[in-house]
Structure formats: C-alpha cells, structure tokens
Amino acid sequence: MHEFSVTSQIVQSVLGEAEKRKAKKVTAVYLVIGKLTFLGLEQVRFAYEVLTKDTIMEGSKLFIKKQEGLVKCSHCGYEGGFKYEDDALYHVLVPTLKCPKCGNLVSITAGKECTIKSIKMMI
Amino acid sequence: MAKLKKEVVRAEEGEIFDVELSENLLKANQRLAEENKRFLHENGVRAIDVMGSIGSGKTSLIEKLVQFLKSRYRIAVFKGDLTTTIDAELIARHGVESIAINTGKECHLDANLVKKALKKLDLKSIDLLFIENVGNLICPAEFALGSDKRVVVVSVTEGPYMVVKHPFIFMETDVVAVNKVDLAKAMDVNVKQLEKDVKAINPKAIIVATNCRTGEGVGDVAKALGF
C-alpha cells in the first residue's frame, strides 16, 4: 500500500550512506521485508527502478529477502510460524494469534520489518 | 575433465564496499508513536485509536462514547479524514474539543501527524483523547499512533466476510465493536459468526455488539476500554 513512500525512504537512506562514504556508484542493495507488512514486492521493485533513475543508484541490483511471520508463546514456549485457521466456509487460511501447540495467546516476533541489510558500493 | 561453469566472480572497477546497515524503516513511526504515548502519559492523558471501514460508524461510536463519558472525563477528539471538517464538527456539537486532521491523500494517520495535532491541544485541560483514524481496514494496522488501546468498528452492512478478509487489523486491536446490529437480519449477516471470526484471529479482543444510533452496547465498549 505504501510502496512508493517506503521505497523513497529506502533510496534516501542508501544515497545518504553512499554520500557519507563518497561512493561513486551503488551496485546492490539488500532488503529484508516482513510478510506481515503491506508492502507488495512487485511495487517496491517498480518504485525502486523509478526512484533510482539519474542517481548513482541507477542500474543497481535490488535483492529482497522475505521474512516469514513468527510468533512466540509465553505459555508453552513455542516459537515459530502462525497457526492458521482453515476456514472451510470461506476457503481461506486465516492467520491467528493462537499458539499452534497449546492454543494460548501468542505475540508476534517477526514479519513486520522493512530493513536495509546491506549496500554494495564502489568507492 | 568437467568444464568449469561460466560463472566467474569479478571484482568491479574500484573498491567494492559492503555497508551493513540493519536500519528498520518502519521503526521510525514506532519510535514516534512511543514518544507520543510518553508525552500523553506525562500529561495524564489516555488515548484511544478508533479504526474501521468507511461508513462503519466510527464517528457515531465516538459521539456516543463522548456523551456517555463526558460527565466523568475531560475529552478531546482528533478526527482523521482526507479532507473536510464535517465529522469534526459533528463531534464538536457535544461540547468537547475536536480537531480535524486532514491527511490530503494518505489513507491512514501516522504518529507524526498525531504529534503535530498534539501541539494544538492543551493536554492539561483533558484526560481522554479519542483519535479517529481514516476509514480503512488495511493501512492503519501498520501505523501505531501512541494510543493506549485500539478499537475496530466493523458493521454488519459491510457483509459477512470483513473480519476474515482483514486479519491483521484484528490482531492489532483490543476491542471490536460489531456495529449496526439492528440491521443484521435485513443484511442476512450472522453476528455470532463475526464474533467467532474475531475470536479465532485474536482471542484477547473484547467484542461488543453495538447500535451507535441508539447507543446500544456503547456502555460496554467504554467498559472494555477500561472506563
């Protein structure tokens, strides 16, 4: 939903880092995007291409690692993926805040991030 | 001898520099939201974020909550909309301070807009702040504002699938008001099923059936929010 503004922030951050190091060119950017964010990767890539044009990032490779949504149960200690409710009525898998092991309430520990992991640049 | 694959790693011209960053861009809003929360608490103000679809009854719920609580609390309302002050004026009729936050084209409020609006408010003169988000079940889930509790208003006129289609906003909420229950029969919507859907996704959410025209259930929403 907010790919353009978020990608614009990404590009600004990368350009800032590149400038600090007096880089001539940025060759690659590595992102981690959580599956619980509402960021469409297609749209991020499209915005990236548009926003990097005529900058030292133009033509750089964008690598995006998807981070699964993870939860933790304080009751039984479970750490891992969501419990999905298989709703036969609606034919969908609905993610829930229930522990897959014991059914108690879990908290979300990963999947909401949008992180620049690293940047490759030519100095 | 097996032929080597034609994949050669070449150094590019000049020195290649690998910069580790780990900068979480969505955290910026989270940080601001925590600042807002601290600022509100320092001034003894509790804040409630009201979310829900367009036309679900967010403003009506706030109006009824204001009527219900205004003898006990000094209340102010932030009213998020793309444009106009129509709803802000509706709320102001009840004699509480009401500030319109017009986002222009953004589909949600964010912590920065709330921070700006907080500057227009004399926090010493209130103890309770309702923040009505822009009508939307998607984006507000991702943007914390600094509220103590969040409530989602979902109405039966939106049909039977609103909850399962938007699981993430229901994960982020403390209270769910199932509104317009007087129309459930006409809409052929099973309120119990909507409640079951919410409970499956978020067992900790408190669910209240409401009719925000008559005020039915509004007292229970107030109670669920801790008032």
Tell me how many domains chain B contains. 1
Of A26-35, B79-88, B202-211, give the lowest mean pLDDT range.
B79-88
From CA A69, how far away is CA B20, in angstroms rounded? 23
- Tens digits of residue pLDDT in B44-58: 999 999 999 999 999
Which 3-state string (H, E, C) describes chain B? CCCCCCCCCCCCCCCEEEEEEEEECCHHHHHHHHHHHHHHHHCCCEEEEEEECCCCCHHHHHHHHHHHHCCCCCEEEEEEECCCCHHHHHHHCCCCEEEEEECCCCCCCCHHHHHHHHCCCCHHHCCEEEEECCCECCHHHHCCCCCCEEEEEEEHHHCCCHHHHCHHHHHCCCEEEEECHHHHHHHCCCHHHHHHHHHHHCCCCEEEECECCCCECHHHHHHHCCC
- Name, in order, each residue with C-beta under 8 angstroms of B183's C-beta and a sequence gap of 6 or more: B155, B156, B157
Find the CB nearest B21 among A6, A108, A118. A118
Neighbouring CB atoms inside 10 A of B185's CB total: 11
Q: Measure B175 CA to nearest chain A CA, in Å.
A: 15
If one counts every other C-beta atom within 10 angstroms of the C-beta of residue B202, the result is: 24
Distance CA B45, CA B2 (A): 74
Q: Which residues pair with A98 in a beta bridge?
A: A105
CB contact under 8 A, A117 and B26: no
Six-digit token string for B12: 């590019």
Give me the residue label for tokens 């992180």. Answer: A115
Average pLDDT of chain A, as a whole number: 91
A60 min Cα distance to partner chain B (Å): 13
pLDDT of B177 over the 80 cut: yes
Cα separation values, A41 from A8, A34, B89, B163, B207, Å? 14, 10, 40, 25, 34
State the residue for tokens 């103000």. Answer: B45
CATH number at residue B163: 3.40.50.300
A62 touching chain B per CB within 8 A: no
Q: Are B116 and B33 in contact (CB under 8 A)?
A: no
Distance from the Cα of A109 to chain B's closest Cα (Å) equals 13
Q: 3-state DSSP: chain A helix, strand, coil percent, rounded to 5? A: 25, 40, 35
pLDDT(B15) > 80: no
List CB contacts of B49: < 8 A, sequence separation 6 or more: B131, B133, B140, B145, B147, B149, B150, B151
> Would you place residue A1 in the very low, low, confident or very high pLDDT band (cuts 50, 70, 90)?
low
Q: B106 in a domain, yes or no? A: yes
Q: What average pLDDT does this structure show over B163-169?
A: 91
b vs e for B128-154, b when ≥16 Cβ sit within 10 Å of the residue's Cβ? bbbbbbbbbbebbbbbbbbbbbbbbbb
Q: Is the ipTM of this complex over 0.85?
A: no
Confirm whether B62 is domain-assigned. yes
Residue-level pLDDT at A2: 81
One-letter amino acid for residue B160 of the chain = P
Model confidence pLDDT, tens digit, residues A63-105: 999 999 999 999 999 999 999 887 666 677 888 999 999 999 9
Mean pLDDT of B4-14: 49
Q: Is B13 inside a domain boundary?
A: no
Proportion of chain A above pLDDT 70, given as a percent: 95
For residue B106, the distance in angstroms to the closest alpha carbon of chain A comes to: 9
Flag if B24 and A98 touch (Cβ within 8 Å): no
Tell whether B22 is covered by a domain: no
Q: Which domain holds residue B187?
A: 28-224
Is residue B172 situated within a structural domain?
yes
The residue written with tokens 């793309």 in the block is B82
Which among A90, A116, A122 has CB closest to B16? Answer: A122
pLDDT at B30 over 80: yes
Interface residue A119 vs chain B (CB under 8 A): yes
Q: Residue B142: list chain A partners with CB under 8 A.
A: 1-2, 37-38, 112
Residue B22 pLDDT exceeds 80: no
Q: Among residues B93, B202, B81, which one has the least CA distance to residue B131?
A: B81
- What pTM does this model have? 0.83
From B101, B62, B58, B59, select the one nearest B78 (Cα to Cα). B101
CATH class of A3-68+111-122: alpha beta
